[in-house]
A and B are shown apart, each in its own frame.
Chain A
Amino acid sequence: MKPAPFAYRKAHSLDEAVALMGQHKDARLLAGGQSLIATLNMRLSSPSLLVDINGISGLDRIEVKDGMVEIGALVRHVQAERSETIATVAPLIARAMPHIAHAAIRNRGTVGGSIAFADPAAELPACLLALGGDVLAAGPAGRRTIKADDFFKGLFETALEPDDVLTGIRVPAADANTRIGFAELARRHGDYAIVGLAASARADGPKLKDVRLAFFGVGDTPLRARAAEAALAGGDVEAAVAALDLAPHDDVQASADVKKHLAGVLLKRVAQQLMEPRA
Chain B
Amino acid sequence: MSDTALSITLIVNGETVSERVDARKTLVDFLREDLALTGSHVGCEHGVCGTCTVRVNGEIVRGCLMLAVQCDGATVETVEGLSDSGEIADLQAAFEQRNALQCGYCTPGMLATAQDLLKRAQTSGRVPSRDEIREQLSGNYCRCTGYHAIVDAVEAVAIARAEAK
Contact = CB atoms under 8 A, between A and B. Distances in A.
B23 A7 contact: yes
Contact of A190 (B46, B59, B70, B138): B138
Interface in A1-35: 1-9, 30, 33-34
Contact of A104 (B3, B4, B113, B135): B113
A5 B23 CA distance: 7
Contact of A34 (B3, B47, B59, B116): B47
A54 B67 CA distance: 13
Contact of B50 (A2, A40, A49, A102): A102
Interface in B1-60: 1-4, 6, 22-24, 26, 29, 45-47, 50, 53, 59-60
28 contacts: A2-B29, A2-B45, A8-B4, A9-B3, A30-B67, A34-B62, A38-B46, A38-B47, A40-B24, A41-B26, A49-B3, A50-B23, A54-B70, A98-B135, A101-B47, A101-B139, A102-B50, A102-B140, A103-B113, A103-B116, A103-B136, A104-B60, A104-B139, A105-B47, A108-B65, A188-B138, A189-B138, A190-B139
Given A6-B24, A104-B62, 11 more contacts: A6-B23, A37-B67, A41-B46, A41-B64, A101-B47, A103-B116, A104-B50, A104-B113, A105-B47, A105-B62, A108-B65
Interface of A: 1-9, 30, 33-34, 37-38, 40-42, 48-50, 52, 54, 78, 98, 101-105, 107-108, 188-190
Interface of B: 1-4, 6, 22-24, 26, 29, 45-47, 50, 53, 59-62, 64-67, 69-70, 113, 116-117, 135-136, 138-140
